[in-house]
Amino acid sequence: MAEDDVRWLATLGRRIELGMLYDCRREKVVSKSKLWHDDEMRKACVVHHINQCNFSIISSNEVDDKAAALRMDNALKASYLCGLVDVRGSAKYLEDKIQSCRQARVTVHHRSTTAFTELPLQRCRSNVKDLNQFEQKGATHVVIGVVYGVQSFFIFDRKCSSKENATEVRNHLLHVIENEGAFGKRVTRLSTPSKYGNVENIFCRFLVDFSLEVEPKTYKDAVSMAKKLPLMIEKNGVNSIPILVRLLSLNKLNPQLVKSVGQNSCSEHVLNEFQRILERTNAMQVRCNDLKNNDICKDFPQFSARFEEMSAILDNFIKSIKQKGARALLEIRSGGKEQTIRDVIRDSNQSPFREQQLSVWIKHKEHEMNTVAECLKLLAGVPVIQSQDDLNQLRSRYSRVVCFSFPLTAPDDCLIVLSQSTDSLKQTPHVTEHSLRSQSPWLIEHNATTKSLAAHFMELYKKNWNTQTSSRFVVSGFGSGVHVAILVFEQGRQVHTIFEPPKRLGSKVGHTVVHSDERSSFSQFLVQSHEDYILDICRISQSDPVESDPQILTIPLIERSSSATATYRSYSFGRLPSSDIHHKVIMLFGATGAGKSTLINAMINYILGVKWEDDYRFKIVDERGEGRQSQAHSQTKHITLYTIYGNRHHKIPYTVTLVDTPGFANTGGIGRDKAISNQIQDFFSHSEDHHMDHIDAVGLVVQASRPRLTPTEVYVFDSIMSSFAFDIKRNIILLITFCDAKKPSVIQAIDEAGIAHNETICRFNNSVLYSSKSTYGAVDSDIEDDEDSIDKVLWNMEMKSMAQLFEAVIHLEPITFALLKEGLIESICVTKQETQVGGGSGRKEVGLNHTKSGLLAEKKVESTEEKKAVEVARDVKSNRSSSATGGRIRRFFKRFRFGRARSNRDKYDHL
């Protein structure tokens, strides 16, 4: 059977039963009569009992995500956007939109399926009623299958204050819901309170396909309802309704009766363009709602009236464009061309309702509100009246009323043009672009004029403070003119439109005038024209432009919440993606001066797509640290997390978190190294604080020129590896800094030290990150070209290694923090046993004592560990029945495999 012959259709709360006829052009049931008799359908139909119930979380408010949750195809979505479908029940979720940009929303979708009833296709041809009567009514399909069930939506909203970040609040709300057991998720208790408050501030709106006596309003009510919901859907399906139907084209029953109707009435691209017009109009309504809730609107309701008028005009525009889209859609589904709906989109984009024009009007109103707010600061203490009735009462009570009036009720040309263009969607011929973009006349005036008038008003107000019984000073926003004015009313009548206080008379000054008259005459002389030309020749030269250092831009970071006692700092950059993308975590280790901070800055430049030719660079880590310190001091004091949210403009297809650890082996000595080790163990053990549960890659940052590793570095690297309870060789990547064209000598030093790592080795030279492209003048052009070519080669090597690193991370298996905690526990146990038996391992002695005979001490350690391994192996033979001894031995060999004796581990296989 062809794909166009059968269609799965979401009912959206409509009662569509088996055997009913359906018109796919108008998206409605043709009549209540059916194609087959009820008795025949009951005998022929097959019922499949299904018991499925699941919850899903929707963090986006886009129409596409809502349509996907309700399983709407493109044809049904196009019909809904054009207003052809009347949604009911839980499908009202499509029409539930946010009312403010300060509103954080997360939705939980519950879907329960109870049964599927269908008519076998081979029986659909038999006992069919007369199709002629149905064809005349416009039927195109017949219902041959019905899926019964219940759908519901828990819509959780949280209002954000002006000081809160809406994205952060939504992430917190999402985290709370994801860890709620009633919604089918694993419960994880939050150990630290959130700065965004508790669940008492979360409100719920519940949409379901059947009626309830009491609907949940709060988060706790919603959790209680979610637990009861599966029990409310009885086994016999009393509360179940059709949620999905299967349609069969009438062409299959009689090809000559009904013309074929395609499911995709218009292309997806055109549908998306039409959808964007509706979404940006809704976004403008949300901005109007936000501005209407501004504090200045409480004193001046004229602003609220403007925004309500704009919202009403936008509502009419949405209705108008939906009607035009519906007519075009019906014409296309009846055999017309797609150009009809393209014309509707074109007229809308060229009308005064285009996005650019609406944004200009919003910005003008914001400017007007800000200007009034600034003037109110100058008029502090003067009461504000909100209506003409209030002014009339004052005029009748006081002999004199002085009013500072803002002309906020003057006609708005833009609103007039928009109201006239709603039906035609075309710009009125006599309306110019200037009139659409023009501001209020009083805003066009110089701002100093308004402030000067306010200062005069306040001076008069202060001088007449003692006459408040007979005079009254007020501020209003319903001036009849187009300019800011001071209105004066005496005995109820207006005597001045624009009033300025009389100036104080100056002191009397006497003047003495002395006059003298002198006449002169000039003799006549002949005038002859004369021209001279001066020609000057000089040598000029031009030097090549000298480029300065690139501009360094600091990335704006948002500090994420953490407990007061936390030993880490967490920052984020960008917006949380609306769709689910992968999240990769890279943890960096290295000695002080290895270049971790500069490497992270290079990573952010690569992610943001900075090129060698660009005259700017980005910085996310302050490499200078706190004060002017030398490279001997670590610039990172705490474990710092930098989360870069994924974006389609970035060069990596995922969200990445870079974990920067403090540099070890600095001037802080052994105590500082131990503190860093404790910070790392604390970071692994308290994953609930920073909401991270895995690590994808461990980057060991070392300098290229190191001929060998110091005993301290070997000890620290070995201590880090001992934190893991299994072989993580595949996840360890060498990040070598200060590289040139030669092979880094540190690679051989790392192999000789027995430090396991991935085959991926990334080489970097961060010296070119912030260097200028040209540093010499025209005289040294050859040197300049050589420098540029060398720096560009190093830059290309840097970017190539970055691409290699981030590509390698994609294919690595993540290391979960649960396994890391097990590794830490085993590491601590082994350390205690080693201390009790032998007073501590020799390798730790090497790492903690920087002696001149370090290499000899390392050899001694190897032999000591080999002897200890033999002793432990013998202990296996004599204590095979002891489970505690076996656990200790297994933990010992886990650590031993990561030590420098890895190459000698085969010696003890026979034991």
Q: CA torsion sign, 116 to 121 to 125 to 130? A: positive
Which among 898, 594, 593 is positioned nearest to 734, based on CA atoms? 594
pLDDT tens sequence across 166-180:
889 999 888 888 887
Per DSSP, the three-state class of 463 is helix
Which among 594, 604, 532, 539 is positioned nearest to 571, based on CA atoms? 604
Query: Looking at residue 129, what is its pLDDT?
Result: 60
Q: How far apart are CA 364 and CA 371, in angstroms?
A: 11
Q: Which residue has the tokens 């005069």?
A: 456
Mean pLDDT, residues 99-116 = 92
Which among 83, 85, 91 is positioned nearest to 13, based on CA atoms? 91
| Lowest-confidence segment of 194-208, 210-224, 773-787 by average pLDDT | 773-787
Pairwise pLDDT comparison (867 vs 160), residue with the higher score: 160
| Lowest-confidence segment of 103-107, 344-348, 624-628, 821-825 by average pLDDT | 624-628
Q: How far apart are CA 361 and CA 436, in angstroms?
A: 8
- Cα angle at 194 between 684 and 820, to 5 degrees? 10
Query: Do residues 797 and 739 make contact, with C-beta atoms less than 8 angstroms apart?
Result: yes
| Lowest-confidence segment of 201-210, 716-725, 856-865 by average pLDDT | 856-865
Query: Which residue type occupies 86?
Result: D
Q: How far apart are CA 666 and CA 40, in angstroms?
A: 88
The pair of three-digit structure tokens given for residue 803, joined into one six-digit string: 């691409």
User: Highest mean pLDDT range out of 248-252, 603-607, 688-692, 868-872?
Assistant: 603-607
Mean pLDDT, residues 845-855 = 38
Contacts of 391-399 with C-beta under 8 Å, sequence gap 24+, read 391/474, 391/476, 391/478, 394/472, 394/474, 395/489, 395/492, 396/492, 397/472, 398/470, 398/471, 398/472, 399/470, 399/471, 399/490, 399/491
pLDDT tens sequence across 467-488:
767 889 999 988 766 788 888 8
First vs last Cα of the chain: how many Å apart? 69
Query: Looking at residue 636, what is its pLDDT?
Result: 61
Query: Looking at residue 905, what is its pLDDT?
Result: 37
Q: Does 760 have pLDDT greater than 50?
A: yes
Q: What percent of the chain has pLDDT over 90?
A: 26
Query: Looking at residue 902, what is its pLDDT?
Result: 40
* DSSP state letter for 384: B
Q: What is the largest CA-CA distance in the chain?
A: 140
Q: How far apart are CA 816 and CA 694, in angstroms?
A: 4
* DSSP state letter for 834: H
Confidence of residue 146 (pLDDT cuts 50, 70, 90): very high
Give the pairing of strands 655-660 and 583-590: parallel
Mean pLDDT, residues 669-691 = 74
Q: How far is CA 253 from the centre of its chain?
A: 51
Confidence of residue 182 (pLDDT cuts 50, 70, 90): confident
Q: Does 81 have pLDDT greater than 60?
A: yes
Query: Looking at residue 276, what is its pLDDT?
Result: 94
Query: Looking at residue 675, what is its pLDDT?
Result: 77
Give the pairing of strands 583-590 and 697-703: parallel
The pair of three-digit structure tokens given for residue 323, joined into one six-digit string: 């009607």
Confidence of residue 494 (pLDDT cuts 50, 70, 90): confident
Q: How far apart are CA 337 and CA 328, in angstroms?
A: 9
The CA R_g of the chain, rounded to the nearest whole Å, is: 39
Pairwise pLDDT comparison (851 vs 422), residue with the higher score: 422
Supply the CATH classification number for the domain 551-772+782-816: 3.40.50.300
CA distances from 826 to 129, 716, 814 (A): 77, 17, 20
Query: Looking at residue 908, what is its pLDDT?
Result: 32
Q: How far apart are CA 758 and CA 697, in angstroms?
A: 10
Query: Looking at residue 424, what is its pLDDT?
Result: 64
Query: Looking at residue 519, what is its pLDDT?
Result: 54
pLDDT tens sequence across 665-675:
665 666 777 77
Pairwise pLDDT comparison (884 vs 481), residue with the higher score: 481
Query: Looking at residue 329, what is its pLDDT?
Result: 92
* DSSP state letter for 124: T
Which among 144, 135, 136, 138 is positioned nearest to 23, based on CA atoms? 138
Mean pLDDT, residues 600-605 = 93
- Please provide residue 432's backbone torsions phi and psi, each rounded to the nearest 5 degrees: -95, 165
Query: Looking at residue 210, what is its pLDDT?
Result: 85
